[in-house]
Amino acid sequence: MRYRDAYDMGRAALAQASVTEADTDARLLLEHVCGTDRNTLLAHGDREVTKEQESRYRELTEKRSRHVPLQYLTGVQDFMGLEFSVNEQVLIPRQDTEILVEEALRNLHDGMRVLDMCTGSGCILISLLNYSNNCEGVGADISGEALEVAEKNAEKLLGVPVRSGLQEDSGAPGEFSGASAGTRVGFVQSDLFEKVEGKYDMIVSNPPYIRSTVINTLMPEVQDHEPRQALDGGEDGLLFYRRILEDVSGYLEKGGMLLFETGYDQGDAVCCLMEQAGFLEVRVIKDYGGMDRVVCGILRFDDPGQ
């Protein structure tokens, strides 16, 4: 089979299944299978696709026709200019979350210690460490499977060996596992702060924030394939913001910054929760579409929890 014929076959199958951007997904899957790039379709459409490649391409297009996310099929997703490995155990990194990383980077200084709560693939923490100098970070998540993905990404993108279980380290409380070339990163399996140790200069989090009743209305790629525990924010979508804010003052340095990603209509509600928890200079950052996306604030120095 010729390359272009394979593409046309895949595109037709995805369009028939009402897959959004069927043309693009068919091309990307073919490039993934054949190890080609976007120019191949235009310049070398007559090249032959091997039987093994054709078989693998049919398999992947069939899965995509069942609305398995493209990123789970290719195993990668670009985020902040880095290529992250992903699978069904983690949320797929989204461009909206780059707003959180960009705002954190504006306030991240050399030598700071960062905690990424609900780290998932590790895309937030790893991006922050990659684009800063001599900072240290810990990613916490309740899912051990998600942490395996995060560790793989840290090793690939930061070039450091890491291991889960920060609380099992033999060093002082809060000591990080793995260090190389000035970048130190560790991961801990924890139900929010349950097994987190030490204090941090900055805490970032993209917690589950979708209302429980809304999840079943989402596109099938999300509701049927992405991990529900990373999506479900309870009845009003604010459950994890409340839980994090109940304990955060014990893990954030005085004057430290807390940054949350939020849903498009949750900015005001999360601002109120942060102010009630003792945060100052609380503000909402909009995404490029003008929607609420990040809420951040500074923990007051006289906070009674400190």
Q: Which CATH class is domain 86-299?
A: alpha beta
The CA distances from residue 91 to 123, 232, 279, in Å, are 10, 12, 28
Residues of the chain above pLDDT 70, percent:
92
Structural domain boundaries in the chain: 3-66, 86-299
Amino acid 11 reads: R
pLDDT at 302: 74
- DSSP annotation of 117: E
Distance CA 196, CA 183 (A): 19
Residues of the chain with pLDDT under 70: 163-183, 303-306
CA dihedral 140, 145, 146, 150 (to 10 degrees): 80
Phi and psi, residue 39, nearest 5°: -75, -20
**Residue 286 zone, left/alpha/beta (φ > 0; ψ -120 to 50; rest):** beta
> Which of these, 88, 122, 86, 124, lies nearest to 105 by C-alpha position?
124
